Structures are given as C-alpha cells and as structure tokens.
Amino acid sequence: MPLVSALPLLQAAREGRHAVGAFNAQNLEFVQGILAAAEALDSPVILQLSARTIQYGGMATLTAMARAAAQEARVPVALHLDMAGFEMNVRALAAGFTSVMVAGSNQPFAMHVEETHRVVEVAHALQVPVEGELGLLGETGRDLQTARRLDPDLVRKFVTLSGVDALAVPPARIQSSPDAAPHLDRDRLRAIVDTCGVPIILHHASQLEDSELSAAIAVGVAKVAIGTELMAAFTRAVREASLRDPDEIDPRVLLAAGRSAIRDLVTSRIRLFGSAGKATLAGMKILA
C-alpha cells in the first residue's frame, strides 16, 4: 500500500495508550527486517532515515527503496526523516517523505523555534506533519538528565510558537540517591504529555529498561524511536555469521543473518509497545 502520513498513527497511539515503533533503517536488510516484523504482527510502523544515512546512501535511492517496500507491505508504513536541518527537510519533503523532523534544540530557544517554524510552513503546505524536538543532543547525544530541565510550560510554548504536530524528548530520569540507579521520571514525563497537546515521542529509548519503556507508554508516549539497538544487533549477527563460516564469500548469506536479527528485535519491540494487531487504515490519510 502507499506510504501513509505518520500523524494519524501517532494520534491513534496516543488515544489507544500504545506506541508506534519508529525504527531507523540503514540499508535494504534493515527495511526488509523491520517490515517483516510489522507484517507478522499486523502493526503500523514508521521507517526512519537519518540525515547521516541519507548522506551515505543518497536521498533518491533510499526513498525509492522505502517507497517500493511500503507498496508491497500489508500494513501502514510512514517514512520519517530523523533529526535534520532545514535544507535536508525540504529535500525530504520533495522526495515524498510522509513525516519530517527538525533538529537543533542545542540552539538558542528563539532560533530553534524560528528554524522549526520555517519547516512547518513548507511541510504543512504539502500536508506532511512535522516533529519538533527539545532536549536532544543529536544522534550521539547521551544526556539523560536533560529532560529533567524541560519545563512543561516551556514545552507548551515551543509547540505553540513552532506549530509542530509532535514533539520528541529524551527520557526523563532521576536518581533518588547517589547509590541508586536512575529510573524514569514518570511525573515529569506525564506533565509534558499532558501539557503540550501533541503526541510525544521518546528518543534514546535503547537506554531504558523494558519496564521503563512500558511506563513511558502508559503515561502517554505515542512513538518510541529505536536506532542504536538495531545497529548493534545487525552488526553482531553479521559478525557471528562470518565467524561461523570464515570461507563464506556471498554477502547475501551474511547480510541475511543481520536481517533476521533486525526482524527478531523489531518483533520484540512491537510487542512491548502494544501496537501489534493495530494496523488499521480507518481514518488515516494515505499519501502516494
């Protein structure tokens, strides 16, 4: 089926108290593994391509691959640009992405609002939703305490001024004592969810235990982005396959092991997020 807009998927998830998995794809085997898992569990899914992945593989090539895979899929598939600036967002919109995201929360607040709003104006003219972000530090950022400083009033102000359709935040974690392990700050996350008025997306989710992810979804997180965890699983599987048979020279054999690892991991994440069995297109806007 054609690519779908991500926004109805997020809205349905927020209302149904489950989350849609957004999985970063790096190559063909990632796409195949992600969609195989979604189809097996009858789940909607969001394919994410980051700016760095696009720089490596090419916008036209990767978009065509994702669109062709979605056309053959039996479940709703949205194509999302993950963490990019204005120019990359405009290119993605022209290429046919059905969701985009503006990076830049490390900028001064006013500048970040202005940059995000510029993308919103272009994307909304094409009826494509825009995901904003606050408190994130890029693809390699790991400041789990940042979300503690996200004042819900500031979140609401950013959403209002920028006009975004969804907002990505890092997991808010607190430490009850110097010797205690950090745990999810449910109250802070719930306040952000209740305040901003748009679906909330959780980034850096691979750093959370499954119980914390379930708790985040229970308070209203509508999308969970998974990237690093997938790369680790894929690379480990390919490496192990090569070690098992050092004489194997067919890359398809080795890459198939990575594809299976992606499928298995995405299957477990979809089940955890609660989106299995929810691949309905009722009320969803389809984009060609």
Interval 216-238: pLDDT, tens: 999 999 999 999 999 999 999 99
pLDDT in tens, 54-111: 999 999 999 999 999 999 999 999 999 999 999 999 999 999 999 999 998 788 999 9
Q: Domain for residue 282, yes or no?
A: no
Residue 287 falls within a domain, yes or no? Answer: no
**Active-site amino acid positions:** 82
Is residue 28, in this structure, part of any structural domain at all?
Answer: yes
CATH of the domain at 217: 3.20.20.70
Q: What percent of the chain has pLDDT over 90?
A: 77
| Structure token digits, residue 172 | 């808010």
Structural domain contains residue 285: no
DSSP states of the chain as a string? ---B-HHHHHHHHHHHT--EEEEE--SHHHHHHHHHHHHHTT--EEEEEEHHHHHHH-HHHHHHHHHHHHHH-SS-EEEEEESB-HHHHHHHHHHT-SBEEB--TTS-HHHHHHHHHHHHHHHHHTT--EEEESS---TT---TTGGGG--HHHHHHHHHHH--SEEEEPPPEE-SSTTSPPEE-HHHHHHHHHHH-S-EEE-SGGGS-HHHHHHHHHTTEEEEEE-HHHHHHHHHHHHHHHHH-TT---HHHHHHHHHHHHHHHHHHHHHHHT-TT----TTPPB--
Domain of residue 204: give its range: 6-273
Any domain includes 279: no
If one compares 195 and 138, the residue with the highest pLDDT of the two is: 195
Answer yes or no: is pLDDT of 37 > 70.
Answer: yes
**Position with higher pLDDT, 76 vs 152:** 76
Mean pLDDT of 276-282: 79
Q: Over the stretch 10-26, which tens digit does the pLDDT of each residue have?
A: 999 999 999 999 999 99
Query: How many domains, in total, are found in the chain?
Result: 1
pLDDT digits over 106-143, tens only?
889 999 999 999 999 999 999 999 999 998 654 444 44
Tokens of 263: 């499928």
* Residue 182 located in a structural domain: yes
